[in-house]
Amino acid sequence: MTTTAILTLNFGEPSDPTPEEVIPFLERIFYTNSSLEAHETDEEKRVRSRQLAERRAPGLIAEYEEIGGSPLNGQADAHARDLASELARRGFPVRVYSAYQYTAPLVADVVKQAREDGMERLIGLPVYPLCGHSTNVAALNDVQAAIDALGWEDVAFEGITGWHRHPGYLELRADAVRRTVRQAGVDLSAPGTRLVFSAHGTPKKYLDEGSGYARYVDEFCEEIAGLLGVDDYALGFQNHSNRGVEWTQPDVEQVIETIDADTVVVDPVSFMHEQSETLAELDDELREEAEERGLAFHRVPVPHDDPRFIGVLADLMEPFITGEESPVGLRFGPCRCRPAANTLCLNARPREEAAPRPSTALEHPASS
């Protein structure tokens, strides 16, 4: 019986667009990010999180109703099932659990289930390619907090944070753009056509505190554009102004308002699932703004169902499972965004300086 478990970690979205589901979902998000504002007590954080959730809920519920419900969790669960099958095909019959930061099954509940199932080793896999503070880092922190709350001292826990540098992932994202423009009959090299990358925004405070997210977004967009042979592209962020704090700039809406083009091809580069932020914010709201300006608008679908993606995830997990070097040449190093001994990533140092994955991190997994 296998005793190694992989936890695929995702944001999650409510299955039903009701206040009973949406408000607690939003409360968890706002509470996780409560450090963005000054609070003296935990009770103040919770009261403020509830206030923000109740204020945001009606608009988000309307978005969910408009798109017919979020497909995020179904797509993420499919990834977990397919990853288990692919790893078994490769000779690694590990258990794969699907867990969510903000909707059921929550990370804490899945960690508890893994313990009850007799797992002795956990590998955390945030399914966010671009490492961010409130996504990759927070998701692994949630796993560690759940382990600590259970007093599960004899479990080995490791995690990966950023992995957008996987060459197969870069290629499948570029292929998604190629398919979109081919089907639309658009030429990315035409003078009036612009490629616009749209990334989820992040509060500037997290960047000031050391998050490399904005740098990773810039790097990823440059890599994809290079694969496409595009020199002139734009980048905008999908920011949320719930707290009134400073976020990454420019807003993608501002990009669309000012871009010198007659056709835009929008690629949601930081998303690996379709969700409210792609189906509502981009397909409805951003498209409307573009068309009001007279722009032809084409949105690149998130390639969540590209069969190569599961191979990418399996490539990432194989060195963690075996304790050996990556068979496809991936170079892991200590994560700088989550500087814990049990956390590795592909962003540890510039590619030309990258060192082979340190075997000690696998032979002596920490649970710090």
Which of 299, 319, 344 finishes a domain? Answer: 299
- Angle at which helix 19-32 crosses helix 42-67, to 10 degrees, equals 130
* Calpha distance 206→212 (Å, rounded): 9
Which of 32, 49, 67 finishes a domain? Answer: 67
* Residue at 239 is within a domain: yes
Among the ranges given (154-158, 209-213, 263-267, 349-353), the one the predictor scored with the smallest mean pLDDT:
349-353
CA atoms within 13 A on the CB side of 84: 16
* Calpha distance 94→5 (Å, rounded): 6
Nearest residue to 12 (alpha-carbon basis) of 71, 82, 83, 79: 71
Residues 286 and 178 in one domain: yes
User: Which pLDDT value is given to residue 241?
Assistant: 83
Residues 181 and 294 in one domain: yes
Would you list the DSSP string of 253-308? HHHHHH---SEEEEE-TT-SS--HHHHTIIIIIIHHHHHHTT-EEEEPPP-TT-HH
Which of 255, 270, 299 finishes a domain? Answer: 299
Residue type (1 letter), 186: V
323-334 pLDDT tens trace: 999 989 999 999
247-289 pLDDT tens trace: 999 999 999 999 999 999 999 999 999 999 999 999 999 999 9
* Residue at 181 is within a domain: yes
Nearest residue to 67 (alpha-carbon basis) of 345, 285, 228: 285
pLDDT of 361 > 60? The answer is: no
pLDDT of 21 > 70? The answer is: yes
> Do 42 and 80 meet the contact criterion of CB atoms below 8 Å apart?
no
User: Which pLDDT value is given to residue 1?
Assistant: 64
Residues 172 and 293 in one domain: yes
353 confidence band (pLDDT: 50, 70, 90): very low
311-322 pLDDT tens trace: 999 999 999 999
Residues 171 and 63 in one domain: no
* Residue at 282 is within a domain: yes
* Calpha distance 71→277 (Å, rounded): 11
Torsion angles phi and psi, residue 229, rounded to 5:
70, 30
User: Which pLDDT value is given to residue 351?
Assistant: 43
* Residue at 345 is within a domain: no
Residues 61 and 178 in one domain: no
Instruction: Tell me which residue range forms the domain holding 35.
Output: 19-67
* Residue at 122 is within a domain: no
Helix (H) or strand (E) holding 4: strand 4-10
Cα dihedral value 162, 164, 169, 174, nearest 10: 160
Give me the sheet containing 296-299, strands edge to edge: 233-238, 193-200, 263-267, 296-299
* Residue at 367 is within a domain: no
23-43 pLDDT tens trace: 999 999 999 999 999 998 999
Q: What is the mean pLDDT of residues 175-197?
A: 97
* Residue at 12 is within a domain: no
Q: Which residue has the higher pLDDT, 13 or 243?
A: 13
Number of domains in the chain: 2
Residues 173 and 290 in one domain: yes
Helix (H, G, I), strand (E, B) or coil at 358: coil
Would you list the DSSP string of 141-195? HHHHHHHHHHT-TT-EEEEE---TT-HHHHHHHHHHHHHHHHHHT--TTSTTEEE
* Residue at 368 is within a domain: no
User: Which pLDDT value is given to residue 349?
Assistant: 56
**Burial 325-361, CB ≥16 within 10 A → b, else e:** ebeeebbbbbbbbbebbbbbbbbbeeeeebeebeeeb
218-246 pLDDT tens trace: 999 999 999 999 999 999 999 988 888 99
pTM: 0.92
Residues 176 and 295 in one domain: yes
